[in-house]
Amino acid sequence: MANQFQLFKRRRFRAMFFTQFLGAFNDNIFKQALILLLTYTAASQLGVEVSILNNLAAMLFILPYFLFSALAGQIADKFEKSKLTRFTKLLELSIMGIAAVGFIFEWYALLFVALFLMGTQSTFFGPIKYAYLPQAMQEDELVGANGLFQMGTSLAILLGMIMAGLLTQIPQPLYWISLTVLVVAILGYFSARSIPIMPAMQPDLKINWNIFTTSVSTVRYLYSLRFLFFVILGNSWFWFYGATFLTQTPEFSKVLLHGDESVVIFLLTLFSVGVSIGSLLCKRLTKNQVSLHLLPYGIAGLSIFAIDLYFSLSGLSIDMNTEALIGVGGLFDIPGSWRVFVDLFFLGFSGGLYIVPLYASMQAYAPKSHRARIVGANNIFNAIFMVGSAIFSIVVLNSLGMSLPQLFLVTGLLNIAFGIFLYAKLNKHIKHTSIQTHDDQLNRHD
């Protein structure tokens, strides 16, 4: 299609796009509102360190990806996807009802339960939506559809965090947060009702309900498909890389830029808009083909702008002696700040060029009968790499005593080594195997 935005005229794309957009939007309203509540209210009431509560929240949300991703992949392969999607959205509505009670009565234990359940709901929805795309899209629509999905996810995360921040600033915030997450969940359910029927890819599949043996067998199966294994390693590295940078954004804003909360949102916006534009351009730059030709440019950009961010931050001159934090407007007056903004934007832009070809390749190359399980395996590795990012940052910043700019420098240098390794492995496969031959080879494992 000449213009990927024309996909919004197609119900098969539009319905799933807005369903996943509203889901990601609601996830981030809830998570950010909970983090703000824990930071500014719960920690003092409970007498617990803020970092302990926030890390507990992060762990509870990501734990279901370890536990249930493989099971979720089996279910998405066995059953028809539109009904599954509607069921997951009804689950979301129920969970947001639990969250609303937790917010209104400030029952933190119940909010933690809701957070774990929301992570579980997201775990089961992930394989459905990513296995849906290659089934619903024409071959020449897949890259454009993935670009739009990546753009939508980035914007949904950003807008959800902004919405949570705004809701906490108005009178009776907990009531407004509760109402908002319920309304968004209802909208998501009605969007899901428009998703067309997508036949099950393996309806005779016998589900293994043992989440541990299922996870092990899914990872083993993925490892036997070497090309897909390295594609998913590449996907997961993006989550490691992104988490390393975005997790540090609040501290980066306050400690290095002496900025207030508006600066945090501004920096997140720069990164998110960069990801969105890079993702959208993938369709035009690859001429609608599932291709890894953009991967080296994405890898190079992720390293170049991370390394330059180290130098641009090191060259800033900010008066840290003043008590008042700087707003976005004041930040523009600081010499050298524009270079920081450019680095963050192009880090996101490079990330878009990097991740969209990998997601499209994962969907196009995966055996049809196992496509959702491949996405489930991808989610397991994503979770592992995100936890690895947190451990890596703690080691670099606390154990080794490095600064935030040095963390960004080290991450950029590591990306060079990983990027060369990844592209060498993937390019070796591309040179020796056509897509059709590879698909036939994969199907022998069925």
One-character DSSP codes across 150-162: HHHHHHHHHHHHH
Among 194, 156, 177, 187, which Cα is nearest to 92's? 187
What residues are paired with 347 via a beta bridge?
none
Rg (CA), the chain: 22
Contact 107, 60 (CB under 8 A): no
Token digits for 299? 């890898």
Among 225, 244, 254, 435, which Cα is nearest to 351's? 244
Is it true that 10-194 and 219-446 share their CATH fold?
yes
What sign for the dihedral angle of Cα 23, 28, 33, 38?
A: positive
CA distances to 64, 116, 219, 343, 357 from 59, rounded to whole Å, are: 9, 9, 22, 30, 29
Write the DSSP string, 119-146: HHHHHHHHHHHHHHHHHHS-GGGHHHHH
Burial (CB count within 10 angstroms: exposed 0-12, middle 13-18, buried 19+), residue 291? middle
Burial (CB count within 10 angstroms: exposed 0-12, middle 13-18, buried 19+), residue 98? middle
In whole angstroms, what is the distance from residue 189 CA to residue 167 CA?
23
What pLDDT was estimated at residue 58? 76
In whole angstroms, what is the distance from residue 302 CA to residue 113 CA?
36
In whole angstroms, what is the distance from residue 5 CA to residue 151 CA?
12
What pLDDT was estimated at residue 11? 92
What pLDDT was estimated at residue 322? 63
- Domain borders along the chain are 10-194, 219-446
Fold exhibited by the domain 219-446: Growth Hormone; Chain: A; (1.20.1250)
Predicted confidence (pLDDT) per residue in 157-178, tens digit:
889 988 988 898 888 989 999 9
Token digits for 269? 């916006």
Q: How many other C-beta atoms can be found within 10 angstroms of the C-beta atom of residue 21?
A: 20
What pLDDT was estimated at residue 123? 93
H or E stretch including 8?
Answer: none
Predicted confidence (pLDDT) per residue in 235-279, tens digit:
999 999 988 888 777 777 777 888 777 788 888 889 889 998 998
Token digits for 144? 């454009």
Contact 18, 191 (CB under 8 A): yes
H or E stretch including 356?
Answer: helix 337-365
10-residue mean pLDDT profile of the chain (446 residues): values are 76 93 94 80 64 72 88 92 95 96 91 93 91 86 86 90 87 93 96 92 90 90 91 94 82 78 83 90 82 91 95 77 74 85 94 90 85 88 88 85 91 96 84 47 44
Helices (H), 395-434: 404-432
CA atoms within 13 A on the CB side of 325: 17
H or E stretch including 74?
Answer: helix 50-78
CATH of domain 10-194: 1.20.1250.20
In whole angstroms, what is the distance from residue 69 CA to residue 246 CA?
24
In whole angstroms, what is the distance from residue 317 CA to residue 161 CA?
29
